[in-house]
Amino acid sequence: MSAGGIPSIAPRDAAAATAPGAADDPATRPLIVDVREPVEFASERIEGSVLIPMSVFADRHGELPKDRPLVMQCHSGSRSSSATMYLLQRGWTDVRNLDGGIAAWMRDGLPVRTGTPEPGEGDL
């Protein structure tokens, strides 16, 4: 739990939980939700993450599953912290903020994709 009582997860723990071998059923692995804007997503992104930018988050948050763990992610953890609280206040129960965002993920040497996303990449 990070400051302010927002559930959080360290980058290495998130990477281990979302790795292909982490669960027999992929639908039970946490889903990483990137709340940055599309230009940021194109710059670097966590493989398998879905993009729901903060600019449309209030309109699109209902698309997110309530029956699967969610890891919210932005650049440094600030915007995703707000998104985490937003979902928790609206009935989602298994939502955590990625500590330090993708910046911490990359500092830990964890893999990212870069460049123009492939068609469908980032879609829910």
- Which residues are identified as catalytic? 74
Strand 8-9's sheet: what is its strand order? 8-9, 95-98, 70-73, 31-34, 50-51
- Using DSSP's 3-state secondary structure scheme, residue 20 falls into helix
Per-residue burial over 88-115, b if 16 or more Cβ lie within 10 Å, else e, is: beeebeebbbbbbbbebbeeeebeebee
